[in-house]
Amino acid sequence: MDHAAEENLAPHIVALVDAEVAAHQGHPATLADFLAHRVKRPRPVTVQFSGGIFQTCWTVTRSDGDYQVLYLPSAGYFSLCVGSDFGPLDIGVHGSAIQCFSAVV
């Protein structure tokens, strides 16, 4: 992905998450915890998927020491990843950012 595409993707991810936050009707504590972990500006990061496949994804939350929510631009959805010695590892939990986040809260 070129630099111009990266510059356009970060605001797109912010807008997706902002819309999700505005529409959230779940437990207020879940939203508060999500917002406390949310990054100000998404950044690219390499994520490992099963089968040894690597993709560039984008940070949505900071790691809590174990888990982190990332955006998969190739799929158009969010993923819950676990930290490893090799970087974030996709664990197959996909969907909206807050739903992924709340899977382990």
Q: pLDDT digits over 68-88, tens only?
A: 999 999 999 999 999 998 899
Q: How many CA atoms lie within 13 A of 23 on its CB side?
A: 10
Inter-residue contact 94 to 77 (CB < 8 Å): yes
pLDDT score for 4: 57
Contacts of 17 (CB under 8 A, 6+ apart): 38, 60, 97
Statement: residue 89 has pLDDT above 80? yes
pTM of the complete model: 0.90
